[in-house]
A = this chain, B = another copy of it.
Amino acid sequence: MSDLQKPVRTIADLAKIAGVSAGTVSRALAGNSLVNAKTRKKIEQLAREHDFRPNQMASKLRRQKTGVIGVIIPLGHDRHQQISDTFFMTLLGHLADELTEKGYDLMLRRVIPQQDEDWLDRFIRSGMIDGVLVIGQSNQFDRIEEIADGYLPMVVWGNHQEGQRHCVVGADNRLGGRMAAERLITAGAKRLAFLGDTGPFEFAARFAGARDVADRMGVGIEPVSVHLSPDQTGREIATFLAERRDEIDGIFAASDTIAFACLRELQRMNVPVPQQMKLIGFDDLPIAAQTIPPLTTIHQDISAGAHGMVDLLLRRLDKEDTESLVLPPRLVIRGTA
Protein backbone atom coordinates (compact mmCIF):
# COMPACT_ATOMS: atom_id res chain seq x y z
CA MET A 1 0.00 0.00 0.00
CA SER A 2 2.40 2.63 1.19
CA ASP A 3 4.73 3.78 -1.51
CA LEU A 4 7.25 5.86 0.28
CA GLN A 5 10.33 3.92 -0.74
CA LYS A 6 12.43 5.69 -3.27
CA PRO A 7 11.23 4.78 -6.74
CA VAL A 8 12.83 1.93 -8.61
CA ARG A 9 14.09 3.61 -11.73
CA THR A 10 16.87 1.36 -12.94
CA ILE A 11 17.60 -2.28 -13.28
CA ALA A 12 20.25 -1.82 -10.64
CA ASP A 13 17.69 -0.56 -8.12
CA LEU A 14 15.55 -3.56 -8.76
CA ALA A 15 18.53 -5.87 -8.51
CA LYS A 16 19.34 -4.51 -5.10
CA ILE A 17 15.93 -5.11 -3.59
CA ALA A 18 15.73 -8.50 -5.27
CA GLY A 19 19.08 -9.45 -3.88
CA VAL A 20 20.50 -10.39 -7.25
CA SER A 21 22.77 -8.75 -9.79
CA ALA A 22 21.74 -6.36 -12.51
CA GLY A 23 22.64 -8.93 -15.11
CA THR A 24 20.18 -11.40 -13.70
CA VAL A 25 17.40 -8.86 -13.64
CA SER A 26 18.10 -7.97 -17.23
CA ARG A 27 17.99 -11.60 -18.24
CA ALA A 28 14.87 -12.30 -16.23
CA LEU A 29 12.96 -9.40 -17.73
CA ALA A 30 14.07 -10.41 -21.20
CA GLY A 31 12.58 -13.84 -20.63
CA ASN A 32 15.98 -15.46 -20.97
CA SER A 33 15.54 -19.16 -20.27
CA LEU A 34 18.84 -19.43 -18.47
CA VAL A 35 17.47 -17.85 -15.35
CA ASN A 36 15.89 -19.94 -12.66
CA ALA A 37 12.11 -19.93 -12.94
CA LYS A 38 11.73 -19.06 -9.30
CA THR A 39 14.04 -16.06 -9.37
CA ARG A 40 12.44 -14.91 -12.58
CA LYS A 41 9.00 -15.00 -11.00
CA LYS A 42 10.29 -13.08 -8.04
CA ILE A 43 11.90 -10.43 -10.19
CA GLU A 44 8.84 -10.06 -12.37
CA GLN A 45 6.71 -9.71 -9.28
CA LEU A 46 8.98 -7.07 -7.81
CA ALA A 47 9.07 -5.22 -11.11
CA ARG A 48 5.30 -5.09 -11.15
CA GLU A 49 5.05 -3.98 -7.54
CA HIS A 50 7.48 -1.19 -8.04
CA ASP A 51 6.08 -0.27 -11.38
CA PHE A 52 9.42 -0.61 -13.05
CA ARG A 53 10.00 0.13 -16.75
CA PRO A 54 13.39 -0.45 -18.31
CA ASN A 55 14.83 2.54 -20.11
CA GLN A 56 14.53 1.87 -23.82
CA MET A 57 17.16 4.40 -24.78
CA ALA A 58 19.81 2.60 -22.83
CA SER A 59 18.70 -0.74 -24.16
CA LYS A 60 18.69 0.46 -27.72
CA LEU A 61 22.08 2.05 -27.39
CA ARG A 62 23.59 -1.08 -25.98
CA ARG A 63 21.96 -3.44 -28.46
CA GLN A 64 22.50 -1.22 -31.47
CA LYS A 65 18.95 -1.86 -32.51
CA THR A 66 16.00 0.42 -31.95
CA GLY A 67 12.81 -1.42 -32.90
CA VAL A 68 11.80 1.79 -34.62
CA ILE A 69 11.05 2.30 -38.29
CA GLY A 70 11.38 5.80 -39.65
CA VAL A 71 8.69 7.12 -41.94
CA ILE A 72 9.73 10.20 -43.80
CA ILE A 73 7.72 12.47 -46.04
CA PRO A 74 9.77 14.66 -48.33
CA LEU A 75 8.02 17.88 -49.31
CA GLY A 76 10.16 18.58 -52.31
CA HIS A 77 7.94 20.50 -54.62
CA ASP A 78 5.12 21.73 -52.50
CA ARG A 79 6.16 22.96 -49.14
CA HIS A 80 3.00 22.91 -47.26
CA GLN A 81 0.34 20.51 -48.23
CA GLN A 82 1.08 16.87 -48.75
CA ILE A 83 1.52 15.81 -45.19
CA SER A 84 -2.05 16.87 -44.86
CA ASP A 85 -2.67 15.20 -48.19
CA THR A 86 -5.37 12.62 -47.75
CA PHE A 87 -3.73 9.93 -49.81
CA PHE A 88 -0.45 10.02 -47.94
CA MET A 89 -2.13 10.27 -44.58
CA THR A 90 -4.26 7.25 -45.34
CA LEU A 91 -1.20 5.34 -46.44
CA LEU A 92 0.47 6.39 -43.21
CA GLY A 93 -2.46 5.06 -41.21
CA HIS A 94 -2.17 1.68 -42.84
CA LEU A 95 1.59 1.67 -42.34
CA ALA A 96 1.09 2.35 -38.66
CA ASP A 97 -1.27 -0.59 -38.45
CA GLU A 98 1.11 -2.93 -40.23
CA LEU A 99 4.18 -1.87 -38.29
CA THR A 100 2.44 -2.03 -34.94
CA GLU A 101 1.35 -5.52 -35.75
CA LYS A 102 4.94 -6.50 -36.39
CA GLY A 103 6.09 -4.99 -33.12
CA TYR A 104 7.79 -1.91 -34.49
CA ASP A 105 7.35 1.66 -33.43
CA LEU A 106 7.08 4.37 -36.00
CA MET A 107 8.96 7.61 -36.10
CA LEU A 108 7.45 10.21 -38.39
CA ARG A 109 9.39 13.01 -39.94
CA ARG A 110 8.43 15.65 -42.45
CA VAL A 111 11.25 17.30 -44.35
CA ILE A 112 11.76 20.00 -46.90
CA PRO A 113 14.67 18.80 -49.05
CA GLN A 114 15.39 22.29 -50.37
CA GLN A 115 16.21 23.40 -46.86
CA ASP A 116 18.19 20.32 -46.01
CA GLU A 117 20.14 18.50 -48.68
CA ASP A 118 21.01 15.81 -46.23
CA TRP A 119 17.48 14.94 -45.18
CA LEU A 120 17.55 11.22 -45.88
CA ASP A 121 21.06 10.37 -44.81
CA ARG A 122 20.67 12.30 -41.62
CA PHE A 123 17.59 10.33 -40.67
CA ILE A 124 19.03 6.95 -41.60
CA ARG A 125 22.28 7.50 -39.80
CA SER A 126 20.82 9.15 -36.73
CA GLY A 127 21.03 5.88 -34.88
CA MET A 128 17.37 6.19 -34.03
CA ILE A 129 15.84 3.86 -36.58
CA ASP A 130 16.44 0.37 -37.91
CA GLY A 131 14.99 1.06 -41.33
CA VAL A 132 13.14 3.69 -43.27
CA LEU A 133 10.01 4.05 -45.35
CA VAL A 134 9.95 7.02 -47.68
CA ILE A 135 6.48 8.26 -48.54
CA GLY A 136 6.65 9.74 -52.00
CA GLN A 137 9.68 10.37 -54.16
CA SER A 138 8.77 14.01 -54.56
CA ASN A 139 11.49 15.42 -56.78
CA GLN A 140 14.20 13.56 -54.89
CA PHE A 141 14.64 10.54 -57.12
CA ASP A 142 18.39 10.94 -57.51
CA ARG A 143 19.10 11.42 -53.86
CA ILE A 144 17.10 8.33 -53.01
CA GLU A 145 19.01 6.37 -55.61
CA GLU A 146 22.32 7.42 -54.09
CA ILE A 147 21.28 6.32 -50.66
CA ALA A 148 19.94 3.00 -51.88
CA ASP A 149 23.42 1.96 -52.98
CA GLY A 150 24.73 1.90 -49.46
CA TYR A 151 21.68 1.23 -47.35
CA LEU A 152 19.51 -1.83 -47.64
CA PRO A 153 16.58 -1.36 -45.22
CA MET A 154 14.74 1.29 -47.19
CA VAL A 155 11.49 1.00 -49.11
CA VAL A 156 9.96 3.89 -50.99
CA TRP A 157 6.41 4.64 -52.03
CA GLY A 158 6.46 6.00 -55.52
CA ASN A 159 6.96 5.33 -59.16
CA HIS A 160 9.06 2.58 -60.67
CA GLN A 161 11.53 3.59 -63.37
CA GLU A 162 13.24 1.12 -65.64
CA GLY A 163 16.52 0.07 -64.06
CA GLN A 164 16.26 2.03 -60.85
CA ARG A 165 18.16 0.82 -57.82
CA HIS A 166 15.90 1.65 -54.92
CA CYS A 167 13.12 -0.66 -53.85
CA VAL A 168 9.81 0.98 -54.55
CA VAL A 169 6.17 0.13 -54.03
CA GLY A 170 3.47 1.89 -55.96
CA ALA A 171 0.89 1.76 -58.67
CA ASP A 172 1.89 1.62 -62.30
CA ASN A 173 1.39 5.32 -62.78
CA ARG A 174 2.10 5.35 -66.48
CA LEU A 175 -0.46 2.65 -67.09
CA GLY A 176 -2.90 4.52 -64.88
CA GLY A 177 -2.27 7.66 -66.91
CA ARG A 178 -3.01 5.75 -70.08
CA MET A 179 -6.26 4.42 -68.65
CA ALA A 180 -7.28 7.91 -67.63
CA ALA A 181 -6.66 9.46 -71.04
CA GLU A 182 -8.34 6.56 -72.79
CA ARG A 183 -11.38 7.00 -70.66
CA LEU A 184 -11.60 10.73 -71.30
CA ILE A 185 -11.29 10.19 -75.02
CA THR A 186 -13.73 7.30 -75.03
CA ALA A 187 -16.18 9.55 -73.23
CA GLY A 188 -15.83 12.02 -76.06
CA ALA A 189 -13.14 14.48 -75.04
CA LYS A 190 -10.94 15.86 -77.80
CA ARG A 191 -8.67 18.42 -76.17
CA LEU A 192 -7.17 17.46 -72.82
CA ALA A 193 -5.43 19.16 -69.94
CA PHE A 194 -3.38 17.50 -67.23
CA LEU A 195 -3.81 19.29 -63.92
CA GLY A 196 -0.79 18.89 -61.70
CA ASP A 197 2.87 19.58 -61.22
CA THR A 198 4.93 17.22 -63.38
CA GLY A 199 7.97 17.59 -61.14
CA PRO A 200 7.22 14.66 -58.84
CA PHE A 201 7.95 11.40 -60.64
CA GLU A 202 4.61 9.84 -59.93
CA PHE A 203 2.79 12.74 -61.51
CA ALA A 204 5.24 12.86 -64.38
CA ALA A 205 4.56 9.20 -65.13
CA ARG A 206 0.81 9.75 -65.05
CA PHE A 207 1.19 12.57 -67.49
CA ALA A 208 3.52 10.55 -69.70
CA GLY A 209 1.00 7.72 -69.84
CA ALA A 210 -1.76 10.10 -70.77
CA ARG A 211 0.39 11.64 -73.47
CA ASP A 212 1.19 8.21 -74.91
CA VAL A 213 -2.48 7.73 -75.54
CA ALA A 214 -3.26 11.28 -76.59
CA ASP A 215 -0.48 11.24 -79.17
CA ARG A 216 -1.58 7.90 -80.51
CA MET A 217 -5.15 9.10 -80.80
CA GLY A 218 -4.19 12.42 -82.26
CA VAL A 219 -5.57 14.38 -79.34
CA GLY A 220 -3.84 17.33 -77.73
CA ILE A 221 -2.86 17.32 -74.06
CA GLU A 222 -0.98 19.87 -72.07
CA PRO A 223 0.21 19.97 -68.47
CA VAL A 224 -1.01 22.74 -66.22
CA SER A 225 1.06 23.21 -63.11
CA VAL A 226 -1.01 23.26 -59.94
CA HIS A 227 0.26 23.46 -56.39
CA LEU A 228 -1.04 21.31 -53.61
CA SER A 229 -1.44 23.75 -50.78
CA PRO A 230 -5.11 24.00 -49.94
CA ASP A 231 -5.62 27.67 -50.65
CA GLN A 232 -3.48 27.84 -53.78
CA THR A 233 -5.01 24.87 -55.55
CA GLY A 234 -8.47 26.34 -55.90
CA ARG A 235 -7.25 29.71 -57.04
CA GLU A 236 -4.84 28.33 -59.59
CA ILE A 237 -7.47 26.09 -61.06
CA ALA A 238 -9.96 28.93 -61.16
CA THR A 239 -7.49 31.11 -63.01
CA PHE A 240 -6.74 28.37 -65.48
CA LEU A 241 -10.38 27.63 -66.13
CA ALA A 242 -11.30 31.27 -66.48
CA GLU A 243 -8.74 31.69 -69.21
CA ARG A 244 -8.84 28.42 -71.02
CA ARG A 245 -11.93 26.42 -70.39
CA ASP A 246 -13.20 26.89 -73.91
CA GLU A 247 -10.07 25.33 -75.34
CA ILE A 248 -10.46 22.01 -73.58
CA ASP A 249 -13.16 19.49 -72.87
CA GLY A 250 -11.38 16.88 -70.77
CA ILE A 251 -9.31 17.20 -67.58
CA PHE A 252 -7.05 14.58 -66.08
CA ALA A 253 -6.33 15.63 -62.50
CA ALA A 254 -3.08 14.26 -61.12
CA SER A 255 -4.81 13.28 -57.89
CA ASP A 256 -8.32 13.05 -56.50
CA THR A 257 -7.58 15.96 -54.23
CA ILE A 258 -6.90 18.13 -57.25
CA ALA A 259 -9.95 16.68 -58.98
CA PHE A 260 -12.18 17.65 -56.06
CA ALA A 261 -10.95 21.21 -56.14
CA CYS A 262 -11.42 21.28 -59.90
CA LEU A 263 -14.94 19.93 -59.63
CA ARG A 264 -15.80 22.62 -57.17
CA GLU A 265 -14.53 25.36 -59.44
CA LEU A 266 -16.37 23.92 -62.42
CA GLN A 267 -19.59 23.96 -60.44
CA ARG A 268 -18.92 27.48 -59.32
CA MET A 269 -18.60 28.47 -62.97
CA ASN A 270 -21.66 26.49 -63.93
CA VAL A 271 -19.79 24.28 -66.34
CA PRO A 272 -21.83 21.08 -66.63
CA VAL A 273 -19.85 17.92 -65.84
CA PRO A 274 -19.51 15.63 -67.71
CA GLN A 275 -21.52 17.18 -70.56
CA GLN A 276 -19.28 20.12 -71.25
CA MET A 277 -16.21 19.04 -69.37
CA LYS A 278 -15.06 15.48 -68.62
CA LEU A 279 -13.00 14.99 -65.48
CA ILE A 280 -11.02 12.07 -64.14
CA GLY A 281 -8.93 11.79 -60.98
CA PHE A 282 -6.33 9.46 -59.57
CA ASP A 283 -6.26 7.57 -56.23
CA ASP A 284 -9.91 6.70 -55.62
CA LEU A 285 -10.11 8.16 -52.16
CA PRO A 286 -13.15 6.91 -50.23
CA ILE A 287 -15.09 10.12 -50.81
CA ALA A 288 -14.58 9.99 -54.55
CA ALA A 289 -17.86 8.08 -54.68
CA GLN A 290 -19.69 10.91 -52.95
CA THR A 291 -19.03 14.06 -54.89
CA ILE A 292 -21.47 15.66 -57.29
CA PRO A 293 -21.37 13.93 -59.65
CA PRO A 294 -19.36 11.02 -58.23
CA LEU A 295 -15.79 11.10 -59.47
CA THR A 296 -14.48 8.84 -62.19
CA THR A 297 -10.94 7.98 -61.21
CA ILE A 298 -8.03 5.54 -61.23
CA HIS A 299 -8.01 3.31 -58.18
CA GLN A 300 -4.88 2.57 -56.14
CA ASP A 301 -5.00 -0.11 -53.47
CA ILE A 302 -3.55 1.74 -50.48
CA SER A 303 -3.92 -1.09 -48.04
CA ALA A 304 -2.11 -3.55 -50.32
CA GLY A 305 0.56 -0.93 -50.84
CA ALA A 306 1.15 -0.47 -47.11
CA HIS A 307 1.24 -4.19 -46.57
CA GLY A 308 3.75 -4.58 -49.39
CA MET A 309 6.01 -1.84 -48.09
CA VAL A 310 6.23 -3.32 -44.62
CA ASP A 311 6.69 -6.83 -45.90
CA LEU A 312 9.55 -5.78 -48.15
CA LEU A 313 11.16 -3.69 -45.44
CA LEU A 314 11.15 -6.56 -42.97
CA ARG A 315 12.80 -8.79 -45.54
CA ARG A 316 15.40 -6.13 -46.15
CA LEU A 317 16.07 -5.92 -42.44
CA ASP A 318 16.91 -9.59 -42.84
CA LYS A 319 19.46 -8.65 -45.48
CA GLU A 320 17.42 -9.79 -48.44
CA ASP A 321 17.75 -7.59 -51.51
CA THR A 322 14.12 -7.49 -52.59
CA GLU A 323 12.57 -6.47 -55.87
CA SER A 324 10.17 -3.57 -56.26
CA LEU A 325 6.44 -4.09 -56.17
CA VAL A 326 4.29 -2.53 -58.87
CA LEU A 327 0.57 -2.59 -58.20
CA PRO A 328 -2.03 -2.59 -60.95
CA PRO A 329 -4.21 0.51 -61.16
CA ARG A 330 -7.87 0.13 -61.99
CA LEU A 331 -10.27 2.42 -63.81
CA VAL A 332 -13.40 3.23 -61.81
CA ILE A 333 -16.07 4.78 -63.97
CA ARG A 334 -18.50 7.00 -62.11
CA GLY A 335 -20.17 10.20 -63.13
CA THR A 336 -17.56 12.69 -64.27
CA ALA A 337 -16.22 10.98 -67.37
Candidate in A51, A66, A107, A263 with the most chain B CB atoms within 10 angstroms: A107
Q: Is the CB of B106 within 8 A of A109?
A: yes
**Within A138-152, which residues are at the interface with B (CB < 8 Å)?**
none
Smallest Cβ-Cβ distance to A86: which chain B residue: B86
Q: Is the CB of B107 within 8 A of A105?
A: yes
A186 at the interface (CB under 8 A from B): no
Q: How far is the CA of A97 from the CA of B88 in the complex (A)?
A: 14
Q: What residues on B are CB-neighbors of A60 within 8 Å? A: 57
Given A83-B97, A100-B109, A100-B110: A53 touches B126 (CB 8 Å cut-off): yes
Binding stretch for chain B, among A171-179, A199-207, A218-226, A287-295: A287-295
Candidate in A89, A93, A106 with the most chain B CB atoms within 10 angstroms: A93
**Within A259-274, which residues are at the interface with B (CB < 8 Å)?**
260, 263-264
Q: What residues on B are CB-neighbors of A92 within 8 Å? A: 89, 92
A125 at the interface (CB under 8 A from B): yes
A122 at the interface (CB under 8 A from B): yes
Q: What residues on B are CB-neighbors of A86 within 8 Å? A: 86, 89-90, 286
Smallest Cβ-Cβ distance to A63: which chain B residue: B57
Interface 0/1 of A77-119, CB less than 8 Å to B: 0000001111001101110110010000111111100000000
Smallest Cβ-Cβ distance to A55: which chain B residue: B127
Chain A contact residues, CB within 8 Å of chain B: 51, 53-58, 60-61, 66, 68, 71, 83-86, 89-90, 92-94, 96-97, 100, 105-111, 121-122, 125-128, 230, 260, 263-264, 286-287, 289-294
**Closest 4 A/B residue pairs (Cβ):** A55-B127, A84-B93, A53-B125, A89-B89
